Amino acid sequence: MSTTDLLAISPTAFVAWLKEQGIRRFHLVLDPASGRVNASHEQLQPLADFINADTRDFMGHEGLFFQVAAEHDTLQGAFVHRTCRGQAAGGVRYWSYETMADYLRDGMRLAKGMTRKNALAGLWWGGGKGVMAHNPTQDKTDPTLRQDIYRDYGHLLSDLRGCYVTAEDVGTHVVDMANVFATTRFTTCIPAELGGSGNPSAPTARGVVSGMEAALEFANLGTLAGKTIAVQGMGNVGAPLIGFLFERGVARVIAADINAGLAERLRADLAGRLQPDQELETRVVTVDNHDILAEECDIVAPCATGATLNPRTIPGLKARIVCGAANNQLEDATRDDEALFQAGIIYVPDFLTNRMGIVNCANEAYGYVNNDEFIERHLERDWEHSVYQTALRVLNASRSSGRPPARTAMDLADELSLQPHPVFGHRGVRIIESLVADRWFDQN
Ligand code: NAD
């Protein structure tokens, strides 16, 4: 097959082609000397060439590793971006892709994003991402299928010797993580009963509060007390966020969700906790309704889905500050970052404020203490890598350079991501060299 053919076919058709070739596992690994990606198998070099030519999502990724699940025709990948600060860490996504080009690009984009999130959080982790392509001929709700493919994914990680450590992500649930954990030690975010850290949503909400406080400080707008905040989404993060905001003395919260039951549950949770001068207004909306973002308020907090900040919503924003938990709030990371900046709206980048999901599970292997300083310091004012300090540093640097904040945060993250781990140096790249030398893909 030619390059274009291999990249244009679906991951499921690609799996069929791999099987015809007698290939179950392969890799695309960066040669540091030439700066080029090479494929483990000659017939897969077109994929490496595609990556070498890509200027959007490829950014010197150290190694991409793939397998077909043992009993089910599911393509599974581990995308290692950069391992200077430690093993590549990031969750495993289970998602549908139309073409191999989409699949490879998404994996590289997400892995690069994790390098930035981890580095900006001051974690001693590199960045990576797992991506499993849903095979449309399979019922992804089938528990047997899920058990098999997540256990196979764990086998893949064991054979990759720890250059990538996985976690939960979109399409993957805590029960799936138990299956990954059954076959590898290279995972975090396992169920609490197996030694995991549990639901990270409340710490994530606290991270968003810190981001809001930094933005208010930056804009000389005082504290949260007396402010009006609009929150999109009353789910796992939105609901505790609203509680924390009222605890900080916020006067009014306007919140929207597509699920009517969540507003009722939140009202019940907050019963007796609001002061007489505090008000909660809730709205039930349809999924394509983003009017909440255009509310008259001080801060708007997107805590629902991604891509809600775009040319259709940004012109209507009335808040001075946007700070929320949702991943990938900017529909186009460059265009919409610039549009918010030009409009004089302070945007606190999502990958900076919503870090507590990964922070919460990052150090699971080191055990648990009450008021863990390795978690709490992210939410305090003075630690140099805290959400508050990092947000202030990014916003100040953005103002003095005239570059929008998400771009500024990425530049800072890229610089931090090159620092070697204080104990293990750039060991991940040596693991990858060892895998290549030992032809890991021959192990089945
Ligand atoms: P969730 O699914 O519990 O909550 C999202 C809520 O948004 C749901 O209640 C949903 O009904 C609602 N929603 C969807 N479309 C909407 C719309 N148009 N208007 C209003 N509400 C709408 O998810 P979550 O765990 O609360 O996460 C929220 C966001 O934060 C997601 O983007 C997630 O990826 C991100 N995030 C979460 C964590 C975490 O710790 N949970 C960590 C990092 C990032």
Q: Ligand 1 mean position to 236 CA, how many Å?
A: 7
Q: Which residues does residue 65 pair with via DSSP β-bridges, in sequence order?
A: 27, 78
Let me know whether 39 and 140 are in one domain.
Answer: yes
Antiparallel, parallel or unpaired: β 126-133 and 92-95: parallel
Instruction: List, by residue number, the catalytic residues.
Output: 129
**Is this prediction's pTM over 0.75?**
yes
Let me know whether 137 and 76 are in one domain.
Answer: yes
CATH number for 156: 3.40.50.10860
Q: Which residues does residue 299 pair with via DSSP β-bridges, in sequence order?
A: 229, 321
Q: Is residue 419 part of a domain?
A: no
Q: Helix or strand or coil: residue 99?
A: coil
Let me know whether 265 and 169 are in one domain.
Answer: no
Q: Ligand 1 mean position to 257 CA, how many Å?
A: 9
Let me know whether 217 and 256 are in one domain.
Answer: yes
Q: Is residue 163 part of a domain?
A: yes
Q: Is residue 423 part of a domain?
A: no
Shortest-distance Cα residue to atom 19 of ligand 1:
257
Please state, in angstroms and rounded to a whole number, the distance separating the CA atoms of residues 378 and 128: 21
The residue assigned the tokens 């505790």 is 240
Q: Is residue 155 part of a domain?
A: yes
Shortest-distance Cα residue to atom 27 of ligand 1:
237
Let me know whether 234 and 90 are in one domain.
Answer: no
Let me know whether 194 and 269 are in one domain.
Answer: no
Q: Is residue 267 part of a domain?
A: yes
Residue 355 alpha carbon, nearest atom of ligand 1: 43
Q: Helix or strand or coil: residue 39?
A: strand
Pocket test for ligand 1, best of 189, 354, 378 (most atoms within 8 A of CB): 354
Let me know whether 188 and 216 are in one domain.
Answer: no
Q: Which residues does residue 283 pair with via DSSP β-bridges, in sequence order?
A: 256
Q: Is residue 370 part of a domain?
A: no
285 lines ligand 1 (CB under 6 A): yes
30 lines ligand 1 (CB under 6 A): no
Antiparallel, parallel or unpaired: β 321-322 and 299-302: parallel
Let me know whether 229 and 114 are in one domain.
Answer: no
Let me know whether 162 and 246 are in one domain.
Answer: no
Classify residue 383 by burial, with Cβ atoms within 10 Å: 0-12, 13-18, 19+: middle
201 lines ligand 1 (CB under 6 A): yes
Let me know whether 127 and 261 are in one domain.
Answer: no
Q: Is residue 318 part of a domain?
A: yes
pLDDT in tens, the chain (444 residues): 665 699 999 999 999 999 999 999 999 999 999 999 999 999 999 999 999 999 999 999 999 999 999 999 999 999 999 999 999 999 999 999 999 999 999 999 999 999 999 999 999 999 999 999 999 999 999 999 999 999 999 999 999 999 999 999 999 999 999 999 999 999 999 999 999 998 899 999 999 999 999 999 999 999 999 999 999 999 999 999 999 999 999 999 999 999 999 999 999 999 999 999 999 999 999 999 999 999 999 999 999 999 999 999 999 999 999 999 999 999 999 999 999 999 999 999 999 999 999 999 999 999 999 999 999 999 999 999 999 999 999 999 999 999 999 999 999 999 999 999 999 999 999 999 999 999 999 986
Instruction: Find the radius of gyration of the CA atoms of the chain.
Output: 22
Residue 9: domain span: 3-199+430-442
Let me know whether 190 and 316 are in one domain.
Answer: no
**φ, ψ of residue 441 in degrees (nearest 5):** -70, -15
Q: Is residue 325 part of a domain?
A: yes
Please state, in angstroms and rounded to a whole number, the distance separating the CA atoms of residues 436 and 416: 27
CATH number for 252: 3.40.50.720
Residue 324 alpha carbon, nearest atom of ligand 1: 30
**φ, ψ of residue 338 in degrees (nearest 5):** -65, -40
- Concatenate the DSSP letters of all residues of 248-314 into one string: TT-SEEEEEES-HHHHHHHHHHHTTTS-TT-EEEEEE--TT--GGGGSSSSEEEE-S-S--BSTTTG
Q: Helix or strand or coil: residue 318?
A: coil
Q: What is the number of structural domains in the chain? A: 2
Pocket test for ligand 1, best of 237, 286, 329 (most atoms within 8 A of CB): 237
Let me know whether 167 and 224 are in one domain.
Answer: no
**How many CB atoms neighbour CB 142 within 10 A?**
12
Contact 326, 91 (CB under 8 A): no
